[in-house]
Copies of this chain bind each other. A is one copy, B any other.
Amino acid sequence: MVMQSGLGRRGPAEAGRMEVLNAAATVFMERGFTATSVDDIAEVLGSTKGRIYHYYRSKADIFLDVLTLAMLDLLERIRPIAEQRDLPPDARLHAAARMHATVMMTQSARSRVAVQGTEMHLMQEAGAKQRRALQAFVDMRDEYEQYFADIVADGTRAGLFRDVAPRLAAKPILGALNWINMWYRPRPGSDIENIAEEFATFVVNGLRPTG
């Protein structure tokens, strides 16, 4: 029997399963959850949906796995940055923002889906298992946001940032960065490094005291 969710809690992810996941991520990114049919995913795979339903119980389960993988990736990346307590808060925020912007531009498929993830009110009719996975995703998202809020609070304490509510301050930061998914499309000449640097500077300066 094949695991239907949990992304390898039982061991390393199988190749077949990951292929389905990546194909799905691509299409979800382009069309969103509802507008993506299982046949669309199969077409990207160059197969029929029989293959997909061998690995996954439902379209929602695939979507949840894409979300989960993307958030796990982001969390893994931000932890080492948040833990560099020797770096001043503004430098830490700069590094975190740079990382997030870069992921948005490079890990396109999965992260983009995760950012659109809000679209999931569609899954209200979901079963208990799916609701749990959805809640786990929301929890991870909150945890990720909290890393940013904590850095902001540190910066305010250090007198580097204005005195703002940290949780609220994280919103325009992540908004400016997540929005990249809405307009950025990879192309030969596009300089990811420059954009990431400019956006990181933007959000750090956004918190600095006025004049």
State the A residues within 8 Å of B (CB): 30-35, 118-119, 121-122, 162, 164, 168-169, 171-180, 182-183, 195, 198-199, 201-203, 205-208, 210-211
Contacts and interface: CB of A to CB of B under 8 A. Distances in A.
Contacts of A119: 32, 35
This protein's copies in its complex: 2
Contacts of A175: 175-180, 182
A179 B183 contact: no
Contacts of A121: 30-31, 35
User: Which 9 A-B pairs give the minimum distances between C-beta atoms?
Assistant: A175-B179, A172-B176, A206-B206, A34-B34, A202-B206, A176-B176, A34-B35, A175-B176, A35-B122
Nearest to A179: B175
A172 B32 contact: no
B195 A205 contact: no
A205 B201 contact: no
B195 A202 contact: no
Contacts of A164: 198
Given A174-B179, A175-B178, A202-B207, 7 more contacts: A35-B119, A172-B199, A178-B182, A201-B210, A203-B206, A205-B206, A206-B206
Given A198-B164, A207-B205, A171 B180 contact: yes
